Amino acid sequence: MRTVLAVIVTVWLVVAAAAAAATSPSVATLILRAEQVGPGYVLQHPADGRGVAASPTLNLCGNDYPSESRRLTRLQTNYVHSSTTLAISNEVVSYTPGGAAQAMREVIKHAANCKHHLLTTGLKSVPTVVVKVTRIQVPHLLKDYLAVRILTTGKLNGKSFTQTSFAVYQRHGDVLSGVYSSGLTIAPQLRLCLHAAEQSAHNLRQTASASKGPAA
């Protein structure tokens, strides 16, 4: 039988979580618009793009991110172009107070320690890959941002392959935005990713100012 104290604590936690969600800015107002990514880009909604139960947010070099349990709302959208392989994904997540700051500390720590990370993909064609993360410095982003180059190597059907992608994480108050890129050409991919990250920083500055928590 549950004690009266246990019931009170449970009710308090539910009320606190609901109150935090109510005061968090809508992630839908913070997500990148297609025109912010670039001319000709189209926004797509992936099947697992909405809700914290649909997909993890932070899995850079591992899945040991305690801040994942502090997520309140989540929205991820993809941006593709009919005439190029360069693509962008933007993920915006709100947290309980202090959760986004914790998430940034965790992902920065993972990036610093990810020089040669063996990752199991779960795919029969590519069972394992090696991930190397390199931090890069860029201007015009929010304070304490994390921007990384992700070099993935492995074998596909017995043939070696190398893939480069980029990721940028930024926080404003209790909201975190991740911008992720993919594409076959490295330099244009980096330019597109950093442009999208700058636009995401603009969205966070403009809209998240009403959220609680210290601004980054």
The full 3-state SS of 140-205, as one line of letters, equals CCCCCCEEEEEEEEEEECCEEEEEEEEEEEEEECCEEEEEEEECCCHHHHHHHHHHHHHHHHHHHH
Does residue 122 belong to any structural domain of this protein? yes
Does residue 215 belong to any structural domain of this protein? no
State mean pLDDT over 20-48: 86
Residue 209's pLDDT band (boundaries 50, 70, 90)? low
Alpha-carbon separation of residue 42 from 10, 170, 204 (angstroms): 43, 23, 21
The mean predicted confidence, pLDDT, of the chain is 86
pTM for the predicted model, two decimal places: 0.83
Residue 128's pLDDT band (boundaries 50, 70, 90)? confident
Task: Report how far residue 90's alpha carbon sits from residue 77's, in angstroms, rounded to the nearest whole number.
Answer: 6
The predicted structure's pLDDT at residue 23: 43
Does residue 79 belong to any structural domain of this protein? yes
Q: Which domain holds residue 98?
A: 4-210
Tell me which residue has tokens 């997520």: 71
Domain of residue 164, CATH code: 3.40.1000
Does residue 124 belong to any structural domain of this protein? yes
Q: In the 8-state DSSP scheme, what is residue 7? A: H
User: 117 or 130: which carries more pLDDT confidence?
Assistant: 130
Q: Is the pLDDT of residue 192 over 90?
A: yes
The predicted structure's pLDDT at residue 116: 83
State mean pLDDT over 156-167: 91
Does residue 216 belong to any structural domain of this protein? no
> How many Cβ atoms are within 10 Å of 187's Cβ, its own excluded?
7
State mean pLDDT over 157-177: 94
The predicted structure's pLDDT at residue 25: 64
State mean pLDDT over 197-212: 79
Per-residue pLDDT tens over the stretch 86-111:
999 999 999 999 999 999 999 999 99
Domain count for the chain, please give it. 1
Q: Which helix (H) or strand (E) holds 175?
A: strand 175-182
Look up residue 45 and give its two tokens. Answer: 């909604």
Does residue 116 belong to any structural domain of this protein? yes
Q: Is the pLDDT of residue 11 over 50?
A: no
Q: Is the pLDDT of residue 134 over 60?
A: yes
Residue 4's pLDDT band (boundaries 50, 70, 90)? very low
